[in-house]
Amino acid sequence: TFIMEIEDYYDSTVKSNLIIPEQYDHNYVSLSCLEPGYYEVATYTMSDSELVATDRTSFAIVENTDFIDNKDTSMFGINTHISAEFHRNTPELLADEVYKLGVKNVRDNYSWAKVSKEEGVFDIPKTFITELDRLGIGAMMLGGFNNSIYVTEDEKTPTTTNSINAFADYCKAVVDAFAVNGNPLTEFEVWNEYWSWDESENSAQNYANLFNAVYNKLNPSYPKLKMAIGFNNTADGYNKW
């Protein structure tokens, strides 16, 4: 038997003991009583009155609205992963789908290894940039991750003077590509979830060195560009930093 409980933003239970009989492999639960807002749902799997599994996720109920007409006042952004291997959408289609959602900006990454396959040479795809500009969508880009041309096998991340400078050059190439194609960036993130790559005792200092190098490379040309620190993906990494 599957039992569901729903809580609102303030952790107050608004619906409980929603039971889905075990003879069904799927079912529907009416949420018509809920007002628009943010909610979390907890599920409990029971077998002979014993709890065998639990899970939790979030969802939102929004009012029926025209997202495109309200884009200028939208508070939402979205992560698009245009450079991910699993991405099957073309840049044009992806930008159009983002536009329909009514978001004001996207967050994405042009992988260092993909855009620099030859030392000192950068090939930044332009289509996604120009499509975002056409639709009036801003972008926050992040720089990452390793590139075997510049980072040695002994390094987990850029830590030598040469590899750090090469990474900063790559970040500058990405920001330049947006600037010259009509959609200048307002934010740039240096790496992400750095702890996953470098769990050494010097991890925080290594990241600080990398961040400072990128900042010093970008700031003279783009003094208004906001620089973002990539968040740690584990409590252990966060606490040690």
**Which residues, 6 or more positions from 226, have their beta carbon under 8 angstroms from its beta carbon?**
186, 187, 188
| Digit-coded pLDDT (tens) for 60-73 | 887 777 777 777 77
Phi, psi of 61, rounded to the nearest 5 degrees: -110, 120
| Digit-coded pLDDT (tens) for 163-216 | 999 999 999 999 999 998 777 888 999 999 998 899 898 999 999 999 999 999
Task: Look at residue 219 and give its three-state secondary structure.
Answer: coil
Cα–Cα distance for residue pair 27/4, rounded to 1 Å: 12
For range 215-235, the mean pLDDT: 90
Task: Look at residue 208 and give its three-state secondary structure.
Answer: helix
- What pTM does this model have? 0.72
Which residue in 99, 96, 97, 98 sits closest to 68, CA to CA? 99
- Is 181 buried (19+), middle (13-18) or exposed (0-12) by CB count in 10 A? middle
Whether 46 and 1 have beta carbons less than 8 Å apart is answered as yes
Q: Which residue has the tokens 């996207």?
A: 106
Which residue in 56, 51, 15 sits closest to 35, CA to CA? 15
Cα–Cα distance for residue pair 44/46, rounded to 1 Å: 6
Question: Both tokens of residue 101?
Answer: 């959602």
Number of Cα atoms under 13 Å in the Cβ half of residue 233: 9
Whether 132 and 125 have beta carbons less than 8 Å apart is answered as no
Q: pLDDT grade, residue 39 (50/70/90)?
A: very high
Q: Which residue has the tokens 């830590």?
A: 159
Whether 138 and 183 have beta carbons less than 8 Å apart is answered as yes
pLDDT greater at residue 170 or residue 82: 170
pLDDT for res 21: 61
Do you find a cis peptide bond into 145, omega within 30 degrees of 0?
yes
pLDDT greater at residue 98 or residue 86: 98
